[in-house]
C-alpha cells in the first residue's frame, strides 16, 4: 500500500489514510487499527476523556482535540487522515411507517419523534435510519432509527479539523458493539440465521433489552434505573428483579449480557439473573478479565484490557455483511463552479483527491497501458496464426505417418498372433499325460521286473522296454499299466526269452534266463522311426540303457525292485 501511495503521489494524487476512534465512557478516547488477516489489534492507544452522561456529549472539546493529537503522535500516524468515530448511543428506537411515505417524509416524521426527548429539545438532531428486515404487514415498514445532536458532530468535526484530520463518519455504540461481537466470534452461536436471542446492555442510566433473530434487531426495550443511587449489592438485586420481569416478554434461546459501566459486573448479573435461556456475558468495563480479540506485541500491556468492544466494532471492516448500519455524516456533493476543484474518491480505507489535470494524466497513462499491448497483439496476430497453421499441418502429417506404422504393426501381429489359451491348454494336457505315465510306471513295476527303456511323447505315444524273471511278472505289469492308463491303448508288443543261443539254454536252467518284453501303443512304422533316433530324441521324457540288468544266480531273487533299478541307470 505504501508503494502504491508513493506512485500516486508522484502523479499528483493526494491520498488520505483512515483511522478509527471511539469515545468510550470509563476509558476515554481510543484509537485503534486492526489486522483483518489475523483478526488481532495491530495498534492501540487511549487517553482520558470526560463524558457528560446527562447531556450525552464530551464534557470538553478542547480535551478531545488534545487527546486526539496525542494519539496520532503516539501511534506515529499523520493527522492528515480521515477519522471514523464511534459515539455513545444517545437515542434509539423502532417504529413503523406506511409504505407510501417517501424517504424524506420518513425522515421528517422521525425527527419529529426524536425531538420529544429532553436531549433534543435544545439541540437539533441528526437522524440516521434503516429498514428492518422483518415486516409486520404489507402496508407498513418497520424502521430502526437513532439520533445524535448536530452540535456534537459539528464540534467534533471542528476539533479534528484544527489538527488536520477529517471527520468522515460517525456511528453509534450499539451497532459498533454488535459488529464487535460478530467480528470476534463471541456470539457466533447466537448470530446464526433463525436463532432468537436477547442482548442485555447495561449502562450508567439503566439497561436495554435488544431482541435479536440472528444478526437482525426485531425489538427494543429501555428500562431507566438510577444506578448511581444504589450501594453495594443493591444494584444487582434491582437490575435482576426488573430484568426477570422484562425478559418474560422476550422469550429467546439465548441471553447475552454486556455491561458498559464500571459500576456493574456483567458476570455477577449473569450468575444472579433468573432466565430459562442459555446465559453468557461480556464485561466491557473495568471488570474485564481477558481481551475480546488478541493484541499484537506492539500494543503496550497496560492497554490490552482497556481495549473496548466499541473500538473493535468501529474498526471492523466496512465490507462486513452486517445488516444494521448507521452513519450520522450526511455526505453531499456540492459544486463550487471551479473546474480545477479536486474530486475525492474513496477506495477501501483510503481517500484520494484527484484534480482534473491529474485525472487526464492518469487517463493517458491508463490508455497507454491498455491500448499499446492491444495494438502489438493485433500486429503479431496474423504472423502467429500463420505459424500456428504450419505447425498444425506438420503435426497432422506426423500423425498420419504414425497411424500407418501402427496399422502395419497391427496387421503383422494379427498374422502371427500367439494363442495363449490354446498353448496353455495343450501344455497342461501333455504334462498331465506324461505325469500320469510316470506315476503308473512307478506304481506297476513288480519286484523281479526291470525297465530298460521308457518313452512318453507329447502326442500320447508310450513305449516301454524291459526284462523280467517270469512271464507272470510281465503280464502283471502289463495289466497294471492298462488299468492305470485306461485310454492309452497299450498292447504287449514283444515277449521273448532273453537269450537266443541254444547252448545257453541247454547248459542252464530255462527258468533262470528271464524274458525281454516291450509294451507300447505305437505302430510298427512309429517304432521303426523311434529306433533310428537317439535316446533323448525319441521322446520328451525317456529312460534308456544299453547294458542289461544284472542276472541273478539260479534259485536267488533280486534284492532290488524295478523302480529302484530305473533310478540307478538314469542317475536320478
Please tell me the predicted confidence (pLDDT) of residue 352: 52
Rounded distance between C-alpha atoms, residue 200 and residue 221, angstroms: 10
Answer yes or no: is pLDDT of 57 > 80.
Answer: yes
- Residues whose CB is less than 8 angstroms from the CB of residue 27 and which lie 6 or more positions away in sequence, other chains included: 46, 306, 308
CB-based contact 85:169 (threshold 8 Å): yes
Q: What is the mean pLDDT of residues 447-456?
A: 87
**Coil, helix or strand for 139?**
coil
Percent over 70 (pLDDT), the chain: 77
Which band of pLDDT confidence, cut at 50, 70 and 90, is reported for residue 559? very low
Rounded distance between C-alpha atoms, residue 417 and residue 240, angstroms: 96
Give the tens place of pLDDT for each residue, 195-221: 999 999 999 889 999 999 999 999 999
- For residue 405, being part of any structural domain is answered with no
Q: Are strands 166-172 and 82-87 parallel, antiparallel or unpaired?
A: parallel
Please tell me the predicted confidence (pLDDT) of residue 536: 46
- For residue 196, being part of any structural domain is answered with yes
- Residues whose CB is less than 8 angstroms from the CB of residue 132 and which lie 6 or more positions away in sequence, other chains included: 94, 141, 142, 143, 144, 216, 217, 218
Please tell me the predicted confidence (pLDDT) of residue 247: 93
Out of 259, 291, 323, a domain closes at 291
Which band of pLDDT confidence, cut at 50, 70 and 90, is reported for residue 564? very low
Name the nearest CA neighbour of 120 among 144, 90, 95. Answer: 90
User: Where residue 250 sits, what CATH number does that domain have?
Assistant: 3.30.420.40
For residue 19, give the C-alpha cell. 483511522
How many domains does the chain contain in total? 2
Name the nearest CA neighbour of 192 among 216, 175, 219. Answer: 216
The residue with greater pLDDT, 366 or 344, is: 366
- For residue 534, being part of any structural domain is answered with yes
214: left (phi over 0), alpha (psi -120 to 50) or beta: left
Which band of pLDDT confidence, cut at 50, 70 and 90, is reported for residue 258? very high
The residue with greater pLDDT, 261 or 227, is: 261
Q: What is the mean pLDDT of residues 25-54?
A: 94
CB-based contact 82:166 (threshold 8 Å): yes
Please tell me the predicted confidence (pLDDT) of residue 332: 37
- For residue 402, being part of any structural domain is answered with no
Q: What is the mean pLDDT of residues 42-69?
A: 94
Please tell me the predicted confidence (pLDDT) of residue 419: 65
Of 117-131, 410-424, 533-547, which gets the smallest average pLDDT? 533-547
Please tell me the predicted confidence (pLDDT) of residue 40: 94
- For residue 504, being part of any structural domain is answered with yes
Ranges of H-type helices in 248-287: 266-272
Give the tens place of pLDDT for each residue, 492-530: 888 888 865 555 555 545 445 688 999 998 888 888 776
CB-based contact 450:428 (threshold 8 Å): no
Most confident range (mean pLDDT) of 14-18, 189-193, 446-450 is 189-193
Q: What is the mean pLDDT of residues 350-364?
A: 61
Q: What is the mean pLDDT of residues 57-73?
A: 96
Please tell me the predicted confidence (pLDDT) of residue 552: 42
Q: What is the mean pLDDT of residues 99-114?
A: 90
- For residue 541, being part of any structural domain is answered with yes
Name the nearest CA neighbour of 128 among 156, 74, 87, 164. Answer: 87
Out of 236, 266, 291, a domain closes at 291
Name the nearest CA neighbour of 21 among 96, 91, 77. Answer: 77
Q: Domain span at residue 197?
A: 187-291
Name the nearest CA neighbour of 543 among 484, 459, 462. Answer: 462
- Residues whose CB is less than 8 angstroms from the CB of residue 430 and which lie 6 or more positions away in sequence, other chains included: 458, 540
Give the tens place of pLDDT for each residue, 269-278: 999 999 889 9
Which band of pLDDT confidence, cut at 50, 70 and 90, is reported for residue 30? very high
Out of 291, 318, 348, a domain closes at 291
**Coil, helix or strand for 279?**
strand
CA geometry: angle 43, 319, 143, nearest 5 deg: 115
Which band of pLDDT confidence, cut at 50, 70 and 90, is reported for residue 342? low
Distances (CA, A) of 404 to 152, 397, 400: 90, 11, 6
Answer yes or no: is pLDDT of 409 > 60.
Answer: yes
Give me the torsion for CA of 67, 70, 72, 76, rounded to 10°: -160
Answer yes or no: is pLDDT of 320 > 80.
Answer: no
- For residue 555, being part of any structural domain is answered with yes
For residue 571, give the C-alpha cell. 542317475
- The number of beta carbons lying within 10 Å of the beta carbon of residue 167 is 20
- Residues whose CB is less than 8 angstroms from the CB of residue 468 and which lie 6 or more positions away in sequence, other chains included: 446, 448, 449, 450, 474, 477, 514, 515, 517
Distances (CA, A) of 210 to 95, 117, 323: 14, 20, 15
- For residue 32, being part of any structural domain is answered with no
The residue with greater pLDDT, 219 or 434, is: 219
Per the prediction, the chain carries an average pLDDT of: 81
Of 141-155, 377-391, 468-482, which gets the smallest average pLDDT? 377-391
Which band of pLDDT confidence, cut at 50, 70 and 90, is reported for residue 538? very low
Evaluated on CA atoms 233, 235, 240, 245, the torsion sign reads: positive
Which band of pLDDT confidence, cut at 50, 70 and 90, is reported for residue 323? confident
Percent over 90 (pLDDT), the chain: 44
Answer yes or no: is pLDDT of 85 > 90.
Answer: yes
Which band of pLDDT confidence, cut at 50, 70 and 90, is reported for residue 353? low
The residue with greater pLDDT, 59 or 359, is: 59
User: Which run of H or E residues covers position 504?
Assistant: helix 502-507
Please tell me the predicted confidence (pLDDT) of residue 380: 73
Supply the Cα-derived Rg of the chain in whole angstroms: 55
Q: Are strands 254-259 and 278-283 parallel, antiparallel or unpaired?
A: parallel
Amino acid at each position: 500500500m505504501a508503494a502504491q501511495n508513493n506512485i500516486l503521489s508522484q502523479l499528483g494524487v493526494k491520498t488520505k489514510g483512515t483511522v478509527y476512534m471511539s469515545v468510550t465512557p470509563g476509558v476515554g478516547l481510543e484509537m485503534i487499527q486492526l489486522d483483518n488477516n489475523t483478526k488481532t489489534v495491530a495498534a492501540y492507544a487511549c487517553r482520558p476523556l470526560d463524558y457528560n452522561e446527562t447531556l450525552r456529549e464530551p464534557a470538553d472539546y478542547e480535551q478531545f482535540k488534545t487527546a486526539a493529537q496525542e494519539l496520532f503522535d503516539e501511534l506515529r500516524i499523520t493527522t492528515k487522515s480521515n477519522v471514523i468515530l464511534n459515539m455513545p448511543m444517545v437515542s434509539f428506537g423502532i417504529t413503523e411507517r406506511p409504505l407510501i411515505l417517501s424517504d424524506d417524509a420518513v425522515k421528517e416524521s422521525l425527527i419529529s419523534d426524536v425531538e420529544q426527548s429532553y436531549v433534543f429539545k435544545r439541540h437539533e438532531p441528526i437522524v440516521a435510519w434503516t429498514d428492518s428486515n422483518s415486516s409486520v404487514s404489507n402496508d407498513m415498514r418497520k424502521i430502526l432509527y437513532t439520533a445524535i445532536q448536530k452540535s456534537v458532530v459539528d464540534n467534533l468535526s471542528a476539533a479534528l479539523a484544527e489538527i488536520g484530520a477529517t471527520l468522515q463518519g460517525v456511528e453509534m455504540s450499539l451497532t459498533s458493539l454488535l459488529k464487535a461481537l460478530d467480528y470476534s466470534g463471541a456470539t457466533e452461536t447466537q448470530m446464526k440465521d433463525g436463532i432468537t436471542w436477547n442482548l442485555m446492555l447495561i449502562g450508567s442510566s439503566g439497561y436495554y433489552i435488544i431482541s435479536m433473530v440472528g444478526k437482525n434487531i426485531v425489538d427494543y426495550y429501555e428500562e431507566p434505573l438510577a444506578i448511581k443511587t444504589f450501594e453495594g449489592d443493591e444494584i444487582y438485586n434491582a437490575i435482576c428483579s426488573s430484568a426477570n420481569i422484562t425478559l418474560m416478554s422476550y422469550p429467546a434461546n439465548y441471553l447475552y449480557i454486556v455491561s458498559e459501566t464500571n459500576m456493574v459486573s456483567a458476570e455477577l448479573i449473569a450468575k444472579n439473573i433468573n432466565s430459562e435461556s442459555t446465559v453468557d456475558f461480556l464485561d466491557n468495563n473495568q471488570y474485564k478479565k481477558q481481551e475480546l480479540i488478541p493484541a499484537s506485541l506492539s500494543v503496550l500491556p497496560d492497554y490490552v484490557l482497556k481495549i473496548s468492544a466499541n473500538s473493535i466494532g468501529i474498526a471492523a471492516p466496512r465490507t462486513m455483511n452486517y445488516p444494521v448500519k448507521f452513519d450520522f455524516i450526511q455526505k453531499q456533493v456540492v459544486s463550487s463552479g471551479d473546474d480545477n476543484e479536486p474530486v475525492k474518491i474513496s477506495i477501501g480505507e483510503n481517500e484520494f483527491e484527484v484534480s482534473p489535470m491529474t485525472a487526464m494524466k492518469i487517463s493517458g497513462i491508463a490508455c497507454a497501458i491498455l491500448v499499446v499491448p492491444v495494438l502489438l497483439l493485433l500486429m503479431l496476430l496474423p504472423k502467429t496464426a500463420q505459424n500456428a497453421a504450419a505447425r498444425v499441418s506438420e503435426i497432422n502429417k506426423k500423425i498420419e505417418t504414425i497411424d500407418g506404422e501402427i496399422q502395419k504393426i497391427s496387421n503383422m501381429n494379427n498374422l502371427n498372433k500367439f494363442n495363449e489359451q490354446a498353448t496353455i491348454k495343450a501344455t497342461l494336457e501333455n504334462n498331465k499325460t506324461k505325469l500320469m505315465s510316470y506315476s503308473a510306471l512307478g506304481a506297476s513295476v513288480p519286484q523281479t521286473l526291470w525297465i530298460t527303456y521308457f518313452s512318453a511323447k507329447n502326442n500320447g505315444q508310450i513305449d516301454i522296454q524291459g526284462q523280467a524273471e517270469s512271464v507272470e511278472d510281465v503280464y502283471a505289469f502289463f495289466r497294471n499299466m492298462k488299468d492305470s492308463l485306461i485310454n492309452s491303448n497299450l498292447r504287449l508288443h514283444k515277449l521273448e526269452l532273453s537269450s537266443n543261443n541254444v547252448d545257453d539254454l541247454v547248459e542252464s536252467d530255462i527258468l533262470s534266463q528271464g524274458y525281454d518284453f516291450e509294451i507300447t501303443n505305437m505302430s510298427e512304422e512309429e517304432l521303426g522311426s523311434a529306433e533310428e533316433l537317439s535316446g533323448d530324441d525319441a521322446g520328451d521324457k525317456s529312460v534308456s540303457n544299453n547294458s542289461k540288468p544284472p542276472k541273478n544266480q539260479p534259485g536267488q531273487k533280486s534284492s532290488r525292485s524295478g523302480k529302484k533299478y530305473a533310478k540307478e541307470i538314469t542317475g536320478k
